[in-house]
Amino acid sequence: MGLKFGTDGVRGLAHSELTTELVTKLAFATSNAIGVKEFVIGTDGRESGEIFARALAGGLKAAGATSHYLGMVPTPGIAHIASDFEIAGAVISASHNHAEYNGVKFFLPNGQKLSDETQKEIEALLGERIPTPPLQESIEVSNTTQTYLTSWIDSLKNASLQNNFHDISVVIDCANGAASKIAPQIFEELGVALTVIHSEPNGNNINQNCGSTDMSSLRDGVIELDADVGLAFDGDADRLLAIDHEGNTIDGDHLMAIFARDFKNRKKLKDNTVVATVMANMGFHESMRSEAINVHTTAVGDRHILKALGDNNWSLGGEQSGHIIFSDQARTGDGILTGLHLLDCMKRSQIRLAELAQSSMRRFPQVLHSIELKEQLGDQNTILQQAQPLITAAESIFTQKGRVLVRPSGTEPILRIMVEGEIASEVHHVANEVTKSIKQTLKL
């Protein structure tokens, strides 16, 4: 079938790249590959979510597995439920993408995502001639849903060191996605002075001019209300970015720096090590060196961070995009948990977020470019080999610290170029030069 897993499950345009036939076969192959016969299924509120849930349920049934459909549930909720109840989980979501996309990601009964080896086994099974299981005719939310959700919600409340945040004013942007019902409930029960925006999903407005991919309305709301902080989720609520009271964006690198220092001070940072990806800003590394905190670097994607955390029993890792993983408390990135930890740091320190972020690290200027690839250009390793001399030449332009990172996208035929350094003008110049040179070399 040609299906390939990306950096986070399977994803594509609903009903064209991602079809119900593909999803039923994917469910069938996954159940057989991991040997698990009980699943919980959640969606992030997209219009196409229910029909793909029926497809998943049909494929699982054909594999001899049972499924419990929970309706709209954030990805970290499904991961927690899978771990707590020792069953598998499936999330129908395209994360931060718009409503025309959808995807599927799976969790094992320990709450972990599928390994590279398991994904290859599933791809191999899908390459065989297997019959297409039928869609389930209809699907209803399971009567066990509240029991499952209560387990996760209680774990979030217990993760906070504070019982009441009544003196902190917060605006949350639910991205018209999976956080829309649960996030307001949790923050209100913890006493937050709360304003909620973009929490009315209609199936087609997820991530539309809102959420962590477009924080302009959240920024306006924080400034207009003179709130202490704004918190922005993505569609499936496994990531979070913040806005301080001055309207500045606080990205995942700043959040990681804040949490790493806090964890170290409270002796919660195991082996004095934090896990980050190759995309982490140079300023983050500079800050961690100054705090005598080790940084273990992985490839892009929270699966790689999770593996490093699990293999070494470390406690904190994350990405610039806002996937932050507190491995002692969660099995994947959890935007609500990240927000609670941030409020907790603000409450205990009695320091406003703007000052916390500024003192945690300085951000080096960074530019991101993308180059669309043609399939006939060959495999990505060959392309990267061709690009390496151009990268070396571009880096020689820097008069001070700087770097160039070129990597293929995990979900689409795009080459991503990241350039950062101490001088903004140099960063922009290098980014333009290396992008132009790669396009010329690849004849694009």
| Catalytic residue list | 95
Of 435, 280, 279, nearest to 372 (Cα)?
A: 435
Report CA 94 to chain centroid distance, whole Å: 10
Query: By the 8 A CB rule, do 256 and 276 touch?
Result: yes
Dist CA 137 CA 131 (whole Å): 18
345: left (phi over 0), alpha (psi -120 to 50) or beta: alpha
Beta carbons within 8 Å of 219's beta carbon, 6+ residues apart: 230, 243, 247, 249
Dist CA 18 CA 51 (whole Å): 12
Structure tokens at 181: 């019902």
Dist CA 273 CA 241 (whole Å): 22
Q: Which residue has the tokens 């301080």?
A: 244
The order of strands in the sheet holding 294-298 is: 294-298, 273-277, 316-318, 324-326
Query: By the 8 A CB rule, do 72 and 236 touch?
Result: no
Report CA 366 to chain centroid distance, whole Å: 20
Helix boundaries (H) for 35-115: 49-62, 75-85
- Residue 219 C-beta-side C-alpha neighbours within 13 Å: 12
The order of strands in the sheet holding 366-372 is: 366-372, 414-421, 402-408
Structure tokens at 198: 């973009």
